[in-house]
Amino acid sequence: MDLPSEIDDYIKGSIDHCLNLPVSTQTLHLKLHASQESQRQLREQNLSLLAKLKKKDDLIERARFEASMNAQAVKKFVEENQKLAAECENLMVKCEKLERECTLYDHDREALMEFGNEADERAQEAQARALVLEQDLEMLEHELSKYKQETESGGSCSASAVGEENLLDFLFATLTSKDESATYAILNANSENEHCRKLLTMWSSLMPSTRRILSLVAEVKSLECDKEHLRTNLHRAEEEVKLLFDENSVLDEENKRLAKRCREMNHADSGGKLTSSMSAKSNKRKSSPKTVSPMARKIDFEDIDLARQPLSPLRNNSPGCRMYKK
């Protein structure tokens, strides 16, 4: 069997080496060439391994940089989330305050509406009473003029006329009060009138029936004044109700706007959490210098005057101003 020349040369070289025979130059050249080739391959492998090691180092540095950037982004996100939570809490407090203000305005509006209804009823009652008193006054004046005509005609007073006069005096006494200060004050206030001035000069000598008629007139005047006061207060109450309704509408709009912004901020908060979780999985989140923090668009409500402005204080049961204090 013929062996290949390389194997034959290798066997010969091995035998010569064992027998301490000198090795041929060709064999030495072959070994040198093989050694150089092996050294070249090892050098190439070393360079290839160094290149791969450098790539791995670059990957490790890139992973470290991305991890550092992700840690900074997570820290910044946590801080912004805390600020958003604090802002949401402030918005909730302001919403609750606005709701309390709306409730107070609703109560005030209901109270003013009740007072307006009460003032309207009292005005109607005063008007009805004034009409009744005017009718009574007209009847009494008619009776008085009739009585004066009978006395001026010189006719003798019969028993029926005396009885009629007594009945009129009794009716005057039941319809009028015994306090004549109000009657005197009315006459004094209208002293520029000639008839009132004459009645003032004759005050001490006036007949009881005449004083009672004047007292009835004074009471009618007082009721008319009360009616005007009640009508004025009713108009004021209606204006206050309209004002409260407008303010309540403004507060409702502000409350809706705050609630909408609070929902938007909560939605943005949940969206930020979803984006952070996806970035952590991919490890590819990059921090951009153009990113605008959500807190940069923070809502500023400091200029909104949330203090509740009270209405004008009004005294209860006052003819000039009967309204509830807000």
Task: Specify whether 259 is located in the same domain as 211.
Answer: yes
**Amino acid 81: pLDDT:** 92
**Amino acid 267: pLDDT:** 77
Task: Specify whether 18 is located in the same domain as 167.
Answer: no
| CA distance linking residue 29 with residue 12, whole number of Å | 15
Please check whether residue 267 lies inside any domain of the structure.
yes
What is the reported pTM? Answer: 0.33
Domain count, the chain: 2
Which of these, 250, 243, 242, 240, lies nearest to 306 by C-alpha position? 250
Task: Specify whether 182 is located in the same domain as 273.
Answer: yes
Task: Specify whether 198 is located in the same domain as 271.
Answer: yes
Task: Specify whether 102 is located in the same domain as 217.
Answer: yes
**Amino acid 292: pLDDT:** 39
Task: Specify whether 36 is located in the same domain as 171.
Answer: no
Please check whether residue 324 lies inside any domain of the structure.
no
Please check whether residue 62 lies inside any domain of the structure.
no
Task: Specify whether 128 is located in the same domain as 273.
Answer: yes
Task: Specify whether 40 is located in the same domain as 107.
Answer: no
Give the CATH number for residue 264. 1.10.287.2610
**Amino acid 165: pLDDT:** 58
Question: For every one of its 326 residues, what pLDDT tens digit does the chain have, with 9 covering 90 and above?
Answer: 566 766 777 777 777 767 766 767 777 787 788 889 989 999 999 999 999 999 999 999 999 999 999 999 999 999 999 999 999 999 999 999 999 988 898 898 888 888 888 888 888 888 888 888 888 888 888 888 887 777 776 544 444 555 555 555 655 555 555 556 666 676 667 666 666 666 666 666 666 666 667 777 777 777 778 888 888 888 888 888 888 888 888 888 888 888 888 888 877 766 655 555 554 444 444 443 334 343 333 334 344 344 444 333 333 444 344 443 33
Is 98:305 a contact under the CB 8 Å cutoff? no
Domain that holds residue 132: 78-284
Task: Specify whether 28 is located in the same domain as 164.
Answer: no
Which of these, 240, 221, 220, 232, lies nearest to 123 by C-alpha position? 232
Please check whether residue 128 lies inside any domain of the structure.
yes
Please check whether residue 70 lies inside any domain of the structure.
no
Task: Specify whether 117 is located in the same domain as 243.
Answer: yes
Cβ neighbourhood burial of 12 (10 Å; 0-12, 13-18, 19+):
middle
Please check whether residue 64 lies inside any domain of the structure.
no
HEC per residue, 94-136 = HHHHHHHHHHHHHHHHHHHHHHHHHHHHHHHHHHHHHHHHHHH
Please check whether residue 317 lies inside any domain of the structure.
no
| CA distance linking residue 256 with residue 250, whole number of Å | 10
Please check whether residue 55 lies inside any domain of the structure.
no
Task: Specify whether 155 is located in the same domain as 24.
Answer: no
Task: Specify whether 39 is located in the same domain as 172.
Answer: no
